Amino acid sequence: MVGEPDTIQLSHLEQTIYFASQRQGVSLLNAGTVVDLVGVSHAHAVKLLSSMARKNALHRVGRGRYVVIPPDVLYGRRSYVVDPHLILDELMQSNGSDGLYYVAYQSAAAIHGAAHQLPFVLLVAVPQQRRPIELGRAQIRFVQLKPEKLFGFQQTVYHDVSLNVSDREKTILDCLERFDLCGGVAEVARTISALIEEAEPGRLLDYLPRMDNQALAQRLGLILERLSTVQEINGDLIAGIARQVGEYVYPLDPHEPEAGVLDGRWRIRENVDVLGEL
């Protein structure tokens, strides 16, 4: 794509497509978009997109779909970094399925202000397995969930684009259920500590049975009880979770040695120090 510095090796029509997309704020192109932008035939549009991708003006993110590479990247002034949040909804709505998805786990926590920075990997919950999408230094990683667990999300505006994002309550449960994706139990405890202040206790209690995960309920109860020693936690919430405790004992972190003190109330073997890194 880049021959000599500041030289873009695009044909006149390819340049027209590129700069028209820039003027109109279009970050994701397909053949239909190109037809609308420059009035060529659908077949010609397909060829133009393929040519522009070969020249690195576009980045292919799926069948017939391409992300527009920012101008500063084309001119070699910075490395290729695209914020995946900005194209996610359009990408999901144009993938030929029902578009069901939501931003999840630590990616959702970051949007809710419960993480220090947005990670380069955007985690997205979907009903069917999908390959990850590379966007320069960033990546969209899809996590398949059972259809009955695809609940608890809402439309959220992020930098003028709309995204489906798990609410605070579902983010807490998702992160704890898949703490392997979120930095481990201790890191998830920090996330819960940040999210719980604005979470709705009643909604959290309603969501718990729908997760169909007994260990999750007991781990959450223990973590909240430990957090209540250093911050204010709704007592009715802890009591409501306690009523869902089952007969089996689970380790707090099944990936760590099972040694640790057994908490009789929560039926959890505390093999990780939840408060140690808060």
CA distance 102 to 100: 7
Question: Tokens standing for 199?
Answer: 């979470």
Can you give the pLDDT at residue 142? 95
Can you give the pLDDT at residue 77? 52
Question: Tokens standing for 256?
Answer: 């760590």
**Secondary structure letter of residue 148 according to DSSP:** G
Give the start-end residues of each E strand in the chain. Answer: 28-29, 58-62, 65-68, 102-103, 121-126, 133-135, 138-144, 153-158, 161-166, 250-251, 261-263, 268-270
Residue 199: name the closest of 207, 210, 187 by CA: 207
Can you give the pLDDT at residue 1? 39
Which stretches of the chain drop beneath a pLDDT of 70? 1-8, 72-82, 94-98, 116-119, 276-278
Entry pTM = 0.76
How crowded is residue 55: how many other Cβ atoms within 10 Å of its Cβ?
Answer: 17
Burial bucket for residue 241 (CB in 10 Å: 0-12, 13-18, 19+): buried
Q: Which helix (H) or strand (E) holds 22?
A: helix 12-23
Residue 149: name the closest of 177, 181, 168 by CA: 177
Residue ranges of the chain assigned to CATH 1.10.10.10 = 12-74
CATH class of 12-74: mainly alpha
